[in-house]
Amino acid sequence: MTMKEVFPGVFKVGKKLYTVNMAPGKKVYGEKLVRQQGKEFREWTPERSKLAAAISNNLRHFPFVKDAKILYLGASTGTTVSHVSDICTEGIVYAIEFSERVFHSLLELAKTRKNIVPLMADARKFERYQWVEEVDVIFVDVAQPDETYIAMRNAAEFLKKGGILMISIKSQSIDVTKKSRHVYEQEKQKLEKDYEILELIDLEPFEKNHALLTAKN
Ligand SMILES: C[S@@+](CC[C@H](N)C(=O)[O-])C[C@H]1O[C@@H](n2cnc3c(N)ncnc32)[C@H](O)[C@@H]1O
């Protein structure tokens, strides 16, 4: 079957998602590599990436265009960052991660991809990466109780007017006593005053108790 482009740089065959590998021959997290139409595609697994899970669940707003500048908070070893790097080939991904343990893998990944800038920093202390330019997209996946606050503080500092803020909400990190959809609603309300809410996508069955909230500055 041939690849169908569902968003620029994002391809689908059946239910499987793919991006074009920027570093041919190299896998990032054990994903499958597929050759077709003279290109190498990497499978993008929704069980491993919340952005892929949101696309699989019919995300409508996808701001990761070819030349987008992105600030990614909570990069971990770079699973999702690597696919964003495949898509935004002429853009740049500032990837923030505070855990030294996983940062090492992120550094290794950045060596093979020219558009990833790995930064070991706490997303709560953005003064440490104050020099980062204004960006088109901020993607937040830090799984912290004050995640929305972290997202809003970074957005006030780095997101351009009309830019997109995406927050992966893990309801269990915010309030285990509340039903997930109540937590999603509560986090959405925090944003509503300053941002236009574009969509809220539940990430089940790929990620339990997670949703992806997208808002416009
Ligand atoms: C759920 S994982 C991210 C997975 C990753 N986004 C992906 O899809 O491949 C959350 C990451 O956020 C990092 N993190 C949590 N709080 C942070 C903070 N305040 N500043 C920077 N990184 C943080 C954790 O160390 C962890 O690696």
Domain spans of the chain? 46-216
49 φ, ψ to 5°?
Answer: -140, 125
- What whole-number percentage of the chain has pLDDT above 70? 100
- Report d(CA 150, CA 123) in Å as an integer: 7
Specify the fold of 46-216.
Answer: Rossmann fold (3.40.50)
Q: Is 95 in the pocket of ligand 1 (CB under 6 A)?
A: no
Kindly indicate the confidence band of residue 176, based on its pLDDT and cuts at 50, 70 and 90. Answer: confident
Is 49's C-beta closer than 6 angstroms to any atom of ligand 1? yes
Is 141 close to ligand 1, i.e. is its CB under 6 Å away?
yes
Question: Ligand 1 within 6 A of 45 CB?
Answer: no
pLDDT confidence tier of residue 216, bands split at 50, 70 and 90: very high
Distance CA 137, CA 72 (A): 8
Residue 177: exposure state from Cβ atoms within 10 A (0-12, 13-18, ≥19): exposed
Confidence of residue 179 (pLDDT cuts 50, 70, 90): confident
pLDDT tens-digit map of 72-109:
999 999 999 999 999 999 999 999 999 999 999 999 99
pLDDT number for residue 103: 98
Q: What gap in Å lies between CA 185 and CA 106, rounded to an integer? A: 33
pLDDT of residue 6: 97
Ligand 1 mean position, distance from CA 133 (Å): 21
How do residues 28-75 score in pLDDT, each as one tens digit?
999 999 999 899 999 999 999 999 999 999 999 999 999 999 999 999
Q: Is 105 in the pocket of ligand 1 (CB under 6 A)?
A: no
The predicted structure's pLDDT at residue 2:
84
Taking the CA of residue 99 as reference, the ligand 1 atom at the shortest distance is 25
Cα separations (Å) of 207 from 3, 58, 93, 169, 200?
25, 15, 24, 11, 14
Per-residue pLDDT, 78: 98
Taking only the tens place, the pLDDT of each residue in 104-163 is: 999 999 999 999 999 999 999 999 999 999 999 999 999 999 999 999 999 999 999 999
Q: What is the mean pLDDT of residues 202-213?
A: 96
Residue 215, pLDDT above cutoff 80: yes
Question: What is the model's pLDDT at position 175?
Answer: 84
Q: Could you give the CA distance from residue 76 to residue 192 in angstroms, rounded to a whole number?
A: 28
Q: Is the CB of 74 under 6 A from ligand 1?
A: yes
